[in-house]
Structure 1
Amino acid sequence: MIRVRAATRDGTVTAWLDQLGQVANWRHTKNNPGGPTSAEFDFIAQPDLRHPCMQGGAMLDAYSGTKRVWRGRLEQPIPGLPWQCTGTGAAALAKDYQAHATSGNIYASMNTTVDTAIADGLPWTRPATLLNPIGAGDSLSASIDGLLGSIVQQGQYWNLDNDSRVTTSTTPPPVTLLLAATDLPARTLDGYATAIAYSYTDGSNTFHNITYATAALRARYGTIMDSVDLSSLGALTSAQALSVAQALLARQAANGLPWTSGFTILPGQLYTLGGATITDLATLDANITIRVIDLTPGDGFTPTFDVPIGQLDYDDTTGQATLTPYAVADDSLLASIARTKHLAGL
């Protein structure tokens, strides 16, 4: 059962919402890349309740037992029977902060730029060095979510955990969980690519169109070409542009063929690699890779798939979680980039 603690933005007033009323029908979403994105819940209390922690802008911390499972900002609730409440996750708050560095190009030092936003009030911490984007981009205008989205466009990842610690990575998270299931969603070639036609502009403002492909993918699936425009990254060298194309195609290869839908998980269906059962799905992050074991009756062959997750939706009423793979049907490379930014609240 989710409990929610609220605090005014300056931290001077705090309250557990179950001391003011009753939280019901809690649902939250987390994304990868990204982190806590959104939440919604009903609040059963008198419509004329007046409390500073039930005003838009208050910070919400949702707990399952002693573990924080979601953090974000309360949007202006709608009083009624019940109150209708929504929250913007801490990862999605990045859209409200303009990226600027104390000196130089914002793309030159992700650390400095994010630290400046934190000093401006972004409720994050940065425990480790962050990756810098390739290229210069527009040094004068970008939000923090746009800045982090630029490394996603280059095939990299960023994550904000439940304690609002931001990190970046060149690879998806390793396999940590097992799912044994039958009747898995179908997989499809829709949106898959084995070759990329990419365009970019170099330092002399010359426009280039290049095609990159891998023999292994072409040998298995044939040529399925998609295109990506890298001009938003600013002036690139040929090596920089190629590295982005390689990273994007490598991400497609690592994710495998897109799935047509997500996995709906019941408590007790997920296991750690050591065999322990995950009974509380509220504690899951989206920044995970699961090993799916297909137990559908067949010819005796039991296939396994390593599936990086792109979105997690949790429903506290049912205790269920829906894990949507990073690669889903109809995701071209460009659509995948746009979808990733959207899922992360960008």
Structure 2
Amino acid sequence: MPEPRYAQVNGIRMAYYESGPRQGVPIVLCHGFPELAYSWRRQIAALAAAGRWVIAPDQRGYGLTERPEAVEAYDMEHLTGDLVGLLDHLGVDQAVFCGHDWGGIVVWQAPLLHPGRVAGVVGLNTPFIPRLPIDPVAMFRNAFGEDMYIVHFQKPGVADAELAADVDKTMRYFMRRPAATQAEFAARPAERRSLALQEGLARYDPAADDHQLLSPEELAVFVEAFARTGFTGGLNWYRNFTRNWERSADLPQRIDGVPCLMIMAEHDVVLPPSLADRMGDQISDLEKVLVEDSGHWTQQEQPERVNAILLDWLDRRFPL
């Protein structure tokens, strides 16, 4: 990783990592939960080596970036505003935004909230989903019950304490290669397809896990960061699902005139490739690529494949 740099953006001090020559349209890499800019370490190196200007922030609430106390400070207007503020700090009019997991939700909303600042969008695992007809938290509660992790995360302080009780165990639990293919997961009984991540964490035995994704040195980076910051900042993103839904009623629900790329992971059971089936109905310029033999942490599980896909698309759509 490059050394961190800092910028005052949108009312917070944001840490970001920059590499490559300052030429062409920059690509901004936006991480998910519970992650850091460090999740993009393999992409930062590969993109910079190919002559691309690459920027990866620790986003609001994470890593070396500030963590405001108010839950409302983590709504979509703030999260996308941070990215625009980073462009302003760098003196850049437009960038390609690439987001994984929660970062994907943010980058798909960026062209709706900030048209003119987004040159292109790449979703990694996370598809563009138009505004739902009902509050997403109510939908999750109705479909999966109170124990579904997004519903569970709404309770102030509860998941925060559960995740922080043993940060090493928590990060080992999250950062694993898939234990089952998509088909094997779908064939399990309903009780074994639970999205109650907190219950899975409580049962999890790191000593019996042979699906670890990270090396000890890589794991230590995440553990040190979250042991210092806790998880509340990231959880507050989830606590704005209802607020974001309420405040998006008047936003457009199509992305037109912006080159978009959707990278799907074959064995992601939380964000399966099928979620991207209808994206072409809302996006005028869309390419889709499937990464085989990958679970949810695609840029870390299959970095060479992800790098090749990104560089191919960038070279065709945003040639240097």
TM-score for the superposition, normalised by structure 2: 0.28
Structure number having the greater strand percentage: 1
TM-score for the superposition, normalised by structure 1: 0.27
Higher alpha-carbon Rg: 1
